[in-house]
Structure formats: structure tokens, C-alpha cells
Structure 1
């Protein structure tokens, strides 16, 4: 039996907007400031990458970015290509989230929760694998908030701004 992988569903702007909204909420739970929009371009591909899913095993909101990277150095292999390859997907997700008032972008380039909210029952309707992706994007939200500035986060991940 062949297992089909639905790339279209994974890159659906509504689904990705929901993931980014979760990321922003997690970030704000650990910081007084909203995340810089550029952090979305790193967070979403990390959460969606099935080959990195196991790197989230045995982690929680307290693990921390540096600890996660040290435990799984494979994360940084081709990370720049992964981020660059998903730019259009992230941009569409941000647009969708903003048009639907899930997120707003402020004058400083930070992305914050908008007036609309995700339904609280959303994740209950999803498969276990999809629920796990929501958990996986929640963790970097917390980790990136505690790691420091956007430049520090990108340096830790081996990325350039």
C-alpha cells in the first residue's frame, strides 16, 4: 500500500495561517513583544517539515532553542534552503491571516494577534499527526521568544538576515 502525502493540504494558506497564529500566541505567552515577522519564515517550515518531526520528541515549551538545536544538529542542515524554499507559502499564510484578521502587522514589522480568534475546537477536529504539528509550532514560539533578538535567533540557527 502506497502512502500519499498531500502537499497541497499542508501548504494551504488557511492551515498555515492557523499554525502561524498558534506560533504568535505561543511567542506572546513568553514575551512582552510580538515576534518580528521574519521569525515566521523560520518557524513555519520547521513545524511543517515531516523529516524534522522527531526532533520535537522529548521537548516541551521549556526546552529552549539552543538545547533543541544541540540535541538535533540535523535541523541546521539545509535549513537556509528549507526557509528560502517556503517563502511563498509563508507569505501567503501571513496574507491570509491578515485578511481574516487572525494576525496584524504593526509599523515595526512585528506580527501580533488580530481581532479574530481560531475556533477553540479546531484541533479536536484534526488528525493526531496534524495536532502534533500545532504542538510543534507552539514550542518554537516559546523558544524563540526566550532566545533574544531576531538576529540572535537567526545566528543560533545558522541563518542570515
Structure 2
């Protein structure tokens, strides 16, 4: 039996907006600030990358970004290309989230929750791989919040702002 991989569904702006809303919520749960918009450009492609899914095994919200990167150095291989290749996908997801009032970009360039929310129980209706993607982006939200500034996060990942 051949299993098809639906890239179009994984890059759907509504799906990606729900993931980003989860990321923002997890980030805010760990610190008293909102995430810089540029963090989404790193978090979303990392969460969506099926080839990196195994790197999240045996991690939780307390693992931390640096520990995760040290455990799996493969994450940083071609990371800049992965981020650059997903710029349009992330931008469309942010636009969709803002148009849907899931998120708002404030004057400082940070994402804050909007007046709408992702339906509760949404992930329970999704397949196992999709549920895992939501868990991964939630962990990334916690890890990036605890890592420090946006510059620190990008330095840890070997990326430049």
C-alpha cells in the first residue's frame, strides 16, 4: 500500500495559523512577553518538518532549546535553507491568523492573541501525525520563550537575523 504525503494540506494557511496560535500560547505560558514575529519563521518549519519529528522523541516542555539542539545536531543541517524555503508559507499563515483574528501583530512586531481562538478539542479530531505536530510546536514555543531574546534563539540555532 502506497501512502501519499499531502504537502498542500500541511502548508494550508488555516492549518499553519492554528499551529502558530498554539506556538504563541505556549510561548506566553513561559514568560511575560509575546514572541517576536520572526520567531515564527524558525518555529513553523521546524515543527512541520517530518524528517525532524524523531528529534522531539523523549522531550517535553522543560527540555529546552539548547538541550534539544545538542541531542540532535542534524537539526541545524540546512536549517537556514529550510527557514528560507518556508518564508512564503509562514507569511501566509501569519496573514491568515491576523485576518481570522487568531493573532494580532502589535506595534513592537510581536504576536499577541486575537479575539478568536482555535476550537478546543481540534487536535483530538486530527490524525496522530498532525497531533504530534501540534505538540512539537507547543514545545518549541516553551523552549524559545525560555531561551531568552530572539537574537539568542537565532544564535543558538546558527541563524542570522
The answer, yes or no, to whether TM exceeds 0.5 is yes
Aligned with 2:22: secondary structure? Answer: helix
Report the equivalent of 2:157. 157
Report the equivalent of 2:35. 35
Structure 1 residue runs of 4 or more that deviate by more than 4 Å after TM superposition: none
Partners of 2:72 and 2:25 lie apart in 1 by: 25
Report the equivalent of 2:125. 125
Partners of 1:125 and 1:65 lie apart in 2 by: 29
Aligned with 2:104: secondary structure? Answer: strand
Aligned with 1:121: secondary structure? Answer: coil
Q: Does 1:81 align with 2:81?
A: yes
For the aligned residue pairs, the C-alpha RMSD in angstroms reads 0.4
Task: Give CA-to-partner distance per residue, 1:25-47, whole Å, 9 cap, x none.
Answer: 00000010000000000000000
Partners of 1:76 and 1:41 lie apart in 2 by: 15
How far the C-alpha of 1:6 sits from its partner, in A, is 0.1
Partners of 1:96 and 1:110 lie apart in 2 by: 16
Q: How does 1:1-161 map to 2 (within 5 A)?
A: 1-161=1-161
How far the C-alpha of 1:145 sits from its partner, in A, is 0.2
User: Number of paired residues?
Assistant: 161
Partners of 1:148 and 1:121 lie apart in 2 by: 31
Query: TM-score, with normalisation over the residues of structure 2?
Result: 0.99
How far the C-alpha of 1:116 sits from its partner, in A, is 0.4
Query: TM-score, with normalisation over the residues of structure 1?
Result: 0.99
